[in-house]
Amino acid sequence: MKKETAIVTGGTRGIGLAITKALREAGHPVAAIYHGNEEAAQKCSRETGASVYKADVCDFEACQKMVMMAEDDLGPVGIVVNNAGITKDGVLHKMSLEDWENVLRTNLYSCFNLSRAVMQGMRDRSFGRIINITSINGQKGQFGQTNYCAAKAGMIGFTKALALEGAAKNITVNAVAPGYIETDMTAAMKPEVLQTIVKQIPTGRMGLAEEIASLVAYLSSKEAGFINGATIPVNGGQYMC
Ligand code: CAA
């Protein structure tokens, strides 16, 4: 039986790349969306067999077009992983409007843009899996991240509301909340700040992208149909809620 087509935003690097790989291993055609890094996109395509599409997830119309293209190429979309995200860390009293807006648009508006583009099709086919990659920091707050925490907390509210709307049509909507994971994003932090944070993780180490991806693959499966509206932490015990 043909597996559902999946879209993974930010799907060619970091956590998104691990999710693309996991969904490919589970047999899904995957449309991995990227924004700027051509080299990483081509490598992802070669190594995973995913189809890669360049699109700005902040742009509503670009998302609509990209979904249409992916559906023409790979078939109706049954799974969306809203993973694309950026940080623009800084204390609020120094934060520019631009840094506030860029983070909100990339991390939160993108969830609306992608979900809106696929929802009618999922409703018509009575199946859907939407997985939003939020963050431990959207749950607990983090010094220097008012923009990021607002966006990530917003994703959790979005997840719960859409989970109610989709349920009767067999569309589940869940969030995964990673803690500190070994990626380019955490590698860009000041080493002394990162060290302080790692000391707060009971497992004594950062997480791996694959440890997020395996959960996303499960939530994407038919077997996970009774998990809906959940926010699942994957943070080594750093924050329990
Ligand atoms: N709590 C309280 N006060 C703090 C603090 C904290 N956690 N961190 C810093 N401060 C204080 C400092 O002691 C300093 O105070 P004084 O001026 O009185 O000495 C003041 O705040 C300014 O601190 P910095 O020198 O660090 O200021 P900065 O402007 O150079 O840097 C910052 C600010 C960039 C936000 C830096 O604090 C930082 O990088 N914080 C960590 C942000 C973070 O965790 N980002 C995660 C990125 S990865 C990610 O987001 C993925 C995910 O989902 C988990």
pLDDT tens digits, one per residue of 98-135: 999 999 999 999 999 999 999 999 999 999 999 999 99
Which residue of 89, 106, 181, 211 sits with most ligand 1 atoms within 8 Å of its CB, as the best mutation to test the pocket? Answer: 89
Q: Is residue 240 part of a domain?
A: no
Q: Write b or e for each residue in 213-236: b if 16 or more Cβ atoms lie within 10 A of its Cβ, otherwise e.
A: bebbbebbbeebeeebbbbbbbbb
Of 109, 148, 180, 218, the catalytic one is 148
Q: Is the pTM above the cut of 0.75?
A: yes
- Between the CA of 143 and the centroid of ligand 1 the distance, in Å, is 5
Kindly state the average pLDDT of the residues 22-27: 98
Determine which helix (DSSP H) or strand (DSSP E) holds 33, and give its type and residue range. strand 30-34
Determine the pLDDT at residue 1: 75
CA 217, CA 58: separation in Å to the nearest integer?
25
Condensed to tens digits (0 to 9), the pLDDT of residues 129-138 reads 999 999 999 9
Share of the chain above pLDDT 70, in %: 100
Contact call for residues 125 and 78 (beta carbons, < 8 A): yes
182: CATH: 3.40.50.720
Q: Is the CB of 148 under 6 A from ligand 1?
A: yes
Q: Is residue 241 part of a domain?
A: no
Give the residue numbers spanning the domain of 200.
5-234
Domain count of the fold of the chain = 1
Q: Is residue 109 part of a domain?
A: yes
Q: What is the rounded (10 degree) CA torsion for 24, 26, 27, 29?
A: -40
Is pLDDT above 90 for 178? yes
- Between the CA of 34 and the centroid of ligand 1 the distance, in Å, is 29
Q: Is residue 157 part of a domain?
A: yes
Determine the pLDDT at residue 2: 84
